[in-house]
Structure 1
Amino acid sequence: MARRKELNYFILITMLFSLTVLFVFHKREFSHKKVLSWKYQTADAQILTKACRALVNNSRSVFLWKNTLAMSPMNSSCEDYINKNHYITKPLSEEEAEFPIAYIMTLHKEFETFERVLRTVYAPQNVYCIHIDAKATNDYVRAVQKLEKCFPNVFIASRMEPVIYAGISRLQADLHCMKDLMTPQWQWKYAINMCGQDFPMKTNKEIVHHLKQFKGKNITPGTKPPQHAVHRTKYSYREYMDNNHAFVHGTKKLKKPPPHNITIFFGSAYYAVSRGFGHFVLTDKRAIDLLGWSWDTYSPDEHYWVTLNRLSDAPGAMPDATWEGDLRCIKWLDQFGEKGCHGHYVRDICIYGQGDLPWLLQNTCVFANKFELHSYPPTLECLELILRERTLSQSETEIDPSWYL
């Protein structure tokens, strides 16, 4: 009996040749959810599917888990990288082909997590501008550069900022990409900004449907500043950086009122905006002056887009908008408490563990924030499997069954 168990264990490892991280759970019978159909055919996919179903249904089992793609951009040709990692290489429907989306992706760490994010949101009709934090390591930059060269619609921003949390540099990073995306080469309908630790909760077709509901209006969730956020634009703040530290430092200096009597709104740093609005923020004098005024505010990306979208004559404006748009699922510490996050908190935001999967799948948001592949591989792996299955079921183009993994 002991020898038979050892043989079974050896066979399992052979089947999962690249699986490296062991997660131990107690055995329990799998249950089924009607919302997931789980059609995967390969041996790897069948095992991962069972494991993911267990996690989604709060069951427990014993399994091994991989946390890297089949090929790395650093040691493979672009053809092998794209084919063996099963990237989508043609539009999966006419509707998607006619509704290209631009993505602004700001990165500073977690290259393997970013790889998974890009593979999941990638479609050949879309365009992807990548801003790399100027403080990132040389190895990190080289990895992104190698990846970029494999795709004609993926490019690195023409200018890179040393991004400081809550500083003007975070807003500048987005604006550099927005400027690069405004060339005639890229004819997109909406631009969506992401960080490298976001992950989509919808397929590309579902994102297209979500955006179409707004009929060209910009999605910038927010409202007038609550009392606890007033200080962000009332006083002057400065970015500070040396070899060891980078942070935003507050002062007691009062700021002048906003230019053009603009009413400041406060909200999410994440948005989905029309091409016309992108041109507006780069050329309109009010937008340019607001950017200059925002230079010494705290976290200006959380008021800049929201405020400009409330100007009634801005392209795609929503002057009466509040928090609609459902762009992000985020577990905040003050809302969910210490036990509400099954991973861990960073700056009061939950890094999702596998125990957060049921909560994530109950939400209707477009993206979720945040993930770390190395810390909690099953969370991201299972979401990707579910999304890739939904993508397959929605596709109007034939896809090889081996595409699953």
Structure 2
Amino acid sequence: MQCSNLTRDLHFITRPLSREEEDYPLAFIVTIHKELELFVRLLRAIYMPHNVYCIHVDDKAPLEYQAAVLKVLSCFNNTFLSSRSETVTYAGFSRLRADIHCMKDLAKSEIGWKKVVNLCGQDFPVKSNLELVRYMQSKEWRDRNMTPGVKQPKYMRHRTRLQHKEITGKHVTLKGTGVTKVPPPHNLQVYFGTAYYALTRAFVDFVLENPVAQDLLEWSKDTFSPDEHYWVTLNHIQEAPGSHVDGGWKGDIRAIKWRDQAGRTHNGCKGRYVRDICIYGMEDLPWIVKKNSMFANKFESKRFPEALDCLEQWHRNKVLNQSTVPIEPSWLLATQSN
């Protein structure tokens, strides 16, 4: 496919839709390893020509998949592959390192992005780009990082108190029969939270350059799921740019239906649970729309295709309705007919 045909036939938006969005460019880190169609649809939904996108493809992904992703990215001057690729292991340090590789690349970007958001291939946006910009510039979040989380609960302490080892590309396991780690560096209080965030550019520089951040990164290498403590712990350091020391679980980044929260925070999964997370079905959409988080997780194109089809169409309609520039026909995902 020629790039001009690809951008037109896949309905990518090719011009900024408002001055407000153009003046507040965003950066995105997307880590993927499968389902090319899901990735293309996610990229199409979040793509704006003034933003910047770093895509990390798992090193163990098939070569034809990697080549197809590269072909799509080559059609845009603001999308690129991460300069380093990890063989990502679930709950491993490699997952955290994948984000940091992209951060290093984005720190060199000539696009003056204001905040960076990280995504995985089974995410899909709920807010439009304009709504994301307004949310991040709201009084509560204008100069702050979003890293929902709390002081590490007792039942989670084994993750950072015992040494773990990563079996590359497979799983993370305990090292020996419970070898304890030294306490965290600089007497840091460890926090526990989501692996997903919205971070200021100054905070990213802090992550990449500050000795405290570097020492915590080194200490985290043999912990379990370090991306669930690393960002939120750093964001509770007073001197970190944009820190939010009393943020708690604030920051509505993800709409996720956890199995153990059914009846409390949501009305149950209408699709199916995988690893205790709901793969959304059609009847989950009203809850997603009403919750109005930044993104929703998770979707599968094979199992419940209608859920993603419907949310995607609803999202694109909203994006185009908010536009301040004339709509080009190719930006429509579907047209009405008899």
Report the TM range for the smaller structure's normalisation: over 0.9
Specify the alignment match of 2:151 in structure 1. 224
Provide the rounded CA distance (Å) in 2 between the counterparts of 1:138 and 1:367: 29
| Letter of the structure 2 residue corresponding to residue 376 of structure 1 | F
CA-to-aligned-CA distance 1:292-336 (integer Å, 9 cap, x gap): 000000000000000001000111111111011100010111112
Q: What is aligned with 2:325?
A: 397
- Which residue of 298, 322, 325 corresponds with 2:248? 322
Cα distance in 2 between the residues matched to 1:315 and 1:180: 20
Q: Secondary structure at the match of 1:340?
A: coil
Task: Give the counterpart of 2:142 among 208, 212, 215.
Answer: 215
Listed as ranges, the matches of 1:218-297 within 5 Å are 218-241=145-168, 246-251=170-175, 252-297=178-223
Query: How many Å separate the matches in 2 of 1:375 and 1:153?
Result: 32
Deviations 1:260-289 (A, max 9, x none): 111111100000000000000000000000
* CA displacement at 1:344 relative to structure 2: 1.7
The 8 Å contact of residues 8 and 330 in structure 2, kept in 1 or not, is answered as no
Structure 2 equivalent of residue 98 of structure 1: 23
Identity %: 52
Q: How does 1:181-220 map onto structure 2 within 5 Å?
A: 181-213=106-138, 214-220=141-147
| Per-residue deviation, residues 45-93 of structure 1 (Å, max 9, x unmatched) | xxxxxxxxxxxxxxxxxxxxxxxxxxxxxxx111101012221111100
| Displacement after TM superposition at 1:376 (Å) | 1.3
Q: Which has the larger radius of gyration?
A: 1
Distance between the aligned counterparts of 1:388 and 1:175, measured in 2?
A: 30
State the TM-score, normalized to the length of structure 1.
0.79
Q: CA deviation at 1:384?
A: 1.1
Match of 1:71 in 2: none
Could you say which residue in structure 2 is the equivalent of 1:6? none
CA distance in 1, matches of 2:252, 2:291: 9
Structure 1 residue 374: Cα displacement:
2.0
Q: How much has 1:400 moved relative to structure 2? A: 2.8
The reply on whether 1:156 has 2:86 as its aligned counterpart is no
Please report how far the alpha carbon of residue 144 of structure 1 lies from its aligned counterpart in structure 2 after TM superposition: 0.5
**Misfit runs of 4+, over 3 Å:** none
Structure 1 residue identity aligned to 2:79: V
- The alpha-carbon deviation at position 402 of structure 1 amounts to 5.3
- Is residue 161–residue 181 contact of structure 2 (8 Å, CA) maintained in 1? yes
2:297 to 356, 369, 392: 369
Structure 1 unmatched runs, 5+: 1-75
Tell me which amino acid in the other structure corresponds to 2:162: Y
Counterparts of 1:186 and 1:350, CA distance in 2:
36
For 2:274 and 2:92, locate their aligned partners in 1 and report how far apart those are by CA, in whole Å.
Answer: 18
Give the TM-score normalised by structure 2: 0.94
CA distance in 2, matches of 1:260, 1:368: 36
Match for 2:283: what amino acid?
Answer: G
Where does residue 110 of structure 1 map in the other structure? 35
CA distance in 2, matches of 1:113, 1:216: 32
SS of aligned partner of 2:215: helix
List aligned pairs for 1:13-32, cutoff 5 A: none
Per-residue CA shift, 1:164-192, capped at 9, x if unaligned?
00000000000000000001413100000
Name the stretch that deviates more: 227-236 or 165-174. Answer: 227-236
Alignment partner of 2:171: what SS?
A: strand
Shift in Å, 1:401: 4.7
Aligned residue identity for 2:294:
V
Could you say what secondary structure the match of 2:179 adopts? strand
User: How far apart are the structure 2 equivalents of 1:139 and 1:178?
Assistant: 26
Aligned counterparts of 2:40 and 2:307: Cα–Cα separation in 1: 15
Displacement of 1:348 in angstroms is 1.1
Number of matched pairs: 327
Separation in 1 of the partners of 2:292 and 2:318?
15
- Distance (whole Å) between structure 2 residues aligned to residue 80 and residue 402 of structure 1: 10
Equivalent residue, structure 2, for 1:145: 70
Residues 341-381 of structure 1: per-residue CA shift (max 9 Å, x gap): 22222211111111211211111210011111122111111
Partner of 1:387: 315
1:81 aligned onto 2:6: yes
Root mean square deviation, CA, Å: 1.4
SS at 2:80's partner residue? strand
Structure 2: runs of 5 or more not aligned:
334-338
TM-superposed deviation, 1:199? 0.4
